[in-house]
């Protein structure tokens, strides 16, 4: 299969999405520090290329199950800035009416099945969604994002097995940032994802997860195979977690030299260099950033002015109400 | 009317639901080719094909979470967990995912799935194949729990559970699978949350469900010979449970006993007793009593298990104390 040749609108679309995620995460970091985002958040700064590349290859009918570090996945799948900020800032207008927050952003109408606070849970949920695609013959695929920390979860192994047994239209995307919460991956998982995939007879590819075009190329190949009925595929994207496990994590467990060198692995800078070589000017990129900055600020302002979630509405949404308001 | 065994009534409900709605599908261990460990799903593979009747590997955690993912993606899975003891592996899917999705996604979607699972002892299946764990699930906001006592209820409740937009844990007492009973031929549903008064009486209300209903009815026969008449309420649904029917009966008898095969401590009976001592306090002429399993794992040896299990005799004994 010939390598995809990216035209300028495609490059700019990738850039726009990746910068959206970066700027949203940076803005959230500040809002959190200022006490405007309750709870705790896990930022995906440094990992934006993976969500961006995979997200832009998906249609609305395709489904995505994500992780606790899922802001990028949600934005890449198409969750809007207003829906997102209202939710993160705990407002009734949020996509989940302020009931889920950072770790549960979902938009089922566009196939975003939710971020998830349970490590590894995205894999069987996406697997079941892939089963639904297969039964309903939608032609869609499901994508399971997971981190290296999920590799030691038994349910991932079960899901690989079932996906392979049933030849499900399922793309497993591992964002391997080298850290499983507070521990280095090599102290958590003795095997390699490549070997695990091979054990379950699933094709596997490993890419530089900080190179958005490399991820896009690999994901495109994988999705073509999956859509043609060849069954699941595992894509391992090596990347870096710039921030702590959670925002505010002092990261005392992390070597200083590693923290100092994170800037060398910036997926946004890396792509800007690539785009310059492909004829996109600094001014064009700058104008994308400026436009996004102001769009994000507008969403933040709107969310600040949002309404507090309504207890009665929340309480009555535990079960589905039947016609006439009575519970079924 | 046709006479069906409990297992056949469930089979009929599954088959009809799959015919009526082509998004309904079944998954579980050995349910397709083997027809299920208790024969409940026999013949459904041939009728509906391997896409919709799936044998899963022995991977309860993945299959239960997969049911959630499928339910969020336009399919209505009916999952079989071979023994309720194995529901421990499905806790994350049910408690963290299925029960919460509707609420935490702001009501965007419900999770239309059913988990069928057999509970109960009496067959020397031992500590890991006999437990009645329904109270665990009844404790989780977002889940519904039902437990039928006869073939017609099993059929009607399962039809309702599959049609229900929310996740339902459908508990089948394994001692009932061979039980025969009349099931009307016209399709029907029994609304979840509606109890049934299976025997009228004015002296003591006995609230029970599942496999204990027949033991309560035996006790009623024994007590009637002494001139004591108990009213037996078959709860049918545990979450939500029919508080109005229990309260109405208590208002008539002024004495309440709750009987179940599950462990007494922190069980379904504890919830009903607490609630009735609140809303029914003025009606009570005696303390509320419970007949249930002791705080001990289910033993293997037939003699031990016999002592362990709540029985008609134990219900009679408790009624005597309530009447004294």
**Rounded-to-5 percentages of helix, strand, coil across chain A:** 50, 10, 40
Q: What digits encode the pLDDT tens for the residues B268-277?
A: 999 999 999 9
What does the H/E/C string look like for A264-280? HHCHHHHHHHHHHHCCC
CB contact under 8 A, B104 and A107: no
Residue A82 lies in a domain: yes
| Residue of B69, B86, B114 to mutate, interface with A, max A Cβ within 10 Å | B69
Domain B2-183 is of which CATH architecture?
A: 3-Layer(aba) Sandwich (3.40)
**Predicted local confidence at residue B131, as pLDDT:** 98
* B292 close to B132: Cβ distance less than 8 angstroms: no
Answer CATH for B196-323 from 3.40.50.920, 3.40.50.1980, 3.40.50.300, 3.40.50.12780: 3.40.50.920
Region of A248 (left: φ > 0; alpha: ψ -120 to 50; beta: rest) is left
Q: Which residues of B touch A158 (CB under 8 A)?
A: 57, 59, 61-62
Q: What is the mean pLDDT of residues B186-215?
A: 98
Classify each residue of B23-44 as buried b or exposed e, where b means 16 or more C-beta atoms within 10 Å of its C-beta.
bbbbbbbebbeebbbbbbbeeb
CB contact under 8 A, B108 and A132: no
| Residue of B106, B109, B146 to mutate, interface with A, max A Cβ within 10 Å | B106
Sheet holding B196-199, edge to edge: B196-199, B230-234, B204-208, B256-263, B289-293
CATH code (residue A17): 3.40.50.970
Among residues B147, B137, B319, B176, which one has the least CA distance to residue B234? B147
| Residues of each domain in chain B carrying CATH 3.40.50.970 | 2-183
Cα–Cα distance between A89 and B3 in angstroms, integer? 58
Whether the per-residue pLDDT at B133 is higher than 70: the answer is yes
3-state class of B204 per DSSP? strand
Whether chain A has a CB inside 8 Å of the CB on B43: the answer is: no
Residue A320 lies in a domain: no
3-state class of B247 per DSSP? helix
Question: Which pair of tokens denotes residue A15?
Answer: 């850039």
Among residues A2, A67, A21, A1, which one has the least CA distance to residue A212? A21
Residue A24 lies in a domain: yes
Of B63, B72, B102, the CB nearest to A113: B72
**Predicted local confidence at residue A3, as pLDDT:** 82
Q: What is the mean pLDDT of residues A151-167?
A: 98
Whether chain A has a CB inside 8 Å of the CB on B303: the answer is: no
Q: What digits encode the pLDDT tens for the residues B138-165?
A: 999 999 999 999 999 999 999 999 999 9
Whether the per-residue pLDDT at A43 is higher than 50: the answer is yes
Binning pLDDT at 50, 70 and 90, where does residue A325 land?
very low
* Residue A248 CB neighbour total at 10 angstroms: 13
From A152's Cα to the closest Cα of chain B, the distance in A is 14
Express as a percent the part of chain B with pLDDT over 90: 100
**Predicted local confidence at residue B267, as pLDDT:** 98
Q: Does the predicted TM-score (pTM) go above 0.90?
A: yes
Binning pLDDT at 50, 70 and 90, where does residue A1 land?
low
Binning pLDDT at 50, 70 and 90, where does residue A323 land?
low
Q: What is the mean pLDDT of residues A77-96?
A: 98
3-state class of A176 per DSSP? strand
Distances (CA, A) of A313 to A86, A106, A262, A308, B107: 17, 18, 44, 11, 10
Question: Which pair of tokens denotes residue B324?
Answer: 């004294």
CB contact under 8 A, B165 and A107: no
Residue that has been written with the tokens 């097995």 in this structure: A161
Question: Which pair of tokens denotes residue A8?
Answer: 């300028």
**Predicted local confidence at residue A272, as pLDDT:** 98
CB contact under 8 A, A95 and B144: no
Residues counted in chain A: 328
Which sequence positions of B are flagged as catalytic?
Answer: 60, 129
Region of B186 (left: φ > 0; alpha: ψ -120 to 50; beta: rest) is beta
Tally of structural domains, chain A: 1
Whole-complex ipTM: 0.96
CB contact under 8 A, A124 and B109: no
Residue A310 lies in a domain: no
Among residues A120, A108, A134, which one has the least CA distance to residue A226? A134
Whether the per-residue pLDDT at B39 is higher than 90: the answer is yes
* A100 close to A87: Cβ distance less than 8 angstroms: yes
Binning pLDDT at 50, 70 and 90, where does residue A295 land?
very high
Q: Give the structural domain span for A165.
A: 8-302
Residue A312 lies in a domain: no
Sheet holding A63-65, edge to edge: A63-65, A142-147, A170-176, A233-238, A204-208
Express as a percent the part of chain B with pLDDT over 70: 100
| Residues of each domain in chain B carrying CATH 3.40.50.920 | 196-323
């Amino acid at each position: 299969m010939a390598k995809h040749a990216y035209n300028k609108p495609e490059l700019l679309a990738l850039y726009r999405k990746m910068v959206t995620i970066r700027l949203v995460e940076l803005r959230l970091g500040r809002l959190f520090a200022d006490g405007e985002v309750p709870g705790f958040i896990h930022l995906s700064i440094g990992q934006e290329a993976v969500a961006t590349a995979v997200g832009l290859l998906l249609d609305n009918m395709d489904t995505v199950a994500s992780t606790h570090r899922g802001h990028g996945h949600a934005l890449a799948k198409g969750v809007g800035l207003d829906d997102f900020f209202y939710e993160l800032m705990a407002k009734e207008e949020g996509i989940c009416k302020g009931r889920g927050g950072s770790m549960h952003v979902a938009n089922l109408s566009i196939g975003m099945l939710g971020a998830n606070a349970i490590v590894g849970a995205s894999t069987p949920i996406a697997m079941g969604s892939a089963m639904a695609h297969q039964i309903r013959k939608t032609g869609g695929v499901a994508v399971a994002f997971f981190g290296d920390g999920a590799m030691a979860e038994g349910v991932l192994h079960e899901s690989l097995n079932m996906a392979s047994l049933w030849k499900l239209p399922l793309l497993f995307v591992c964002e391997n940032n080298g850290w499983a919460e507070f521990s280095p991956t090599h102290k958590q998982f003795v095997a390699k994802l490549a070997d695990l995939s091979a054990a379950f007879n699933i094709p596997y590819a490993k890419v530089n997860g900080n190179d958005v075009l490399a991820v896009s190329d690999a994901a495109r190949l994988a999705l073509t195979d999956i859509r043609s009925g060849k069954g699941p595929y595992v894509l391992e994207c090596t990347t870096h977690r710039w921030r702590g496990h959670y925002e505010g994590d002092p990261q005392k467990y992390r070597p200083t030299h590693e923290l100092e060198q994170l800037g060398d692995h910036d997926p946004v800078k890396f792509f800007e260099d690539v785009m310059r070589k492909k004829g996109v000017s600094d001014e064009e990129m700058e104008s994308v950033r400026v436009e996004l900055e102001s769009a994000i600020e507008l969403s933040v302002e709107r969310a600040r002015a949002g309404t507090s979630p309504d207890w009665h509405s929340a309480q009555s949404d535990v079960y589905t109400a039947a016609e006439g308001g009575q519970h079924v | 009317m046709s006479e069906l065994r409990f297992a056949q009534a469930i089979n009929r409900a599954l088959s009809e639901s799959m015919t009526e709605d082509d998004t309904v599908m079944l998954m579980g261990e050995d349910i397709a080719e083997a027809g299920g460990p208790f024969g409940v799903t026999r013949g459904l593979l041939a009728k509906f094909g391997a896409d919709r009747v799936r044998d899963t590997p022995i991977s309860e955690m993945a299959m239960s979470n997969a049911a959630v993912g499928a339910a969020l993606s336009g399919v209505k899975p009916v999952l079989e967990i071979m023994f309720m003891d194995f529901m421990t592996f499905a806790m994350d899917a049910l408690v963290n995912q299925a029960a919460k999705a509707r609420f935490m996604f702001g009501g965007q979607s419900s999770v239309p799935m059913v988990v069928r699972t057999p509970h109960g002892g009496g067959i020397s299946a031992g500590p890991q194949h006999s437990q009645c764990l329904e109270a665990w699930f009844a404790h989780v906001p977002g889940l519904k729990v039902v437990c039928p006592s006869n073939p017609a209820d099993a059929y009607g409740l399962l039809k309702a559970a599959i049609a229900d937009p929310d996740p339902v844990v459908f508990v089948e007492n394994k001692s009932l699978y061979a039980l025969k009973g009349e099931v009307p031929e016209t399709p029907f549903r029994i609304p979840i949350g509606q109890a049934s008064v299976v025997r009228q009486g004015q002296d003591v209300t006995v609230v029970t469900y599942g496999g204990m209903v027949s033991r309560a009815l035996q006790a009623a026969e024994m007590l009637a010979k002494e001139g004591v008449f108990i009213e037996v309420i078959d709860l049918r649904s545990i979450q939500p449970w029919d508080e109005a029917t229990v309260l109405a009966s208590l208002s008539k008898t002024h004495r309440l006993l709750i009987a179940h095969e599950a462990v007494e401590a922190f069980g379904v009976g504890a919830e009903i007793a607490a609630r009735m001592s609140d809303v029914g306090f003025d009606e009570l002429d005696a303390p509320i009593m419970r007949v249930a399993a002791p705080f001990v794992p289910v033993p293997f040896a037939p003699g031990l298990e016999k002592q362990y299990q709540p029985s008609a005799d134990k219900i009679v004994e408790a009624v005597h104390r309530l009447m004294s």
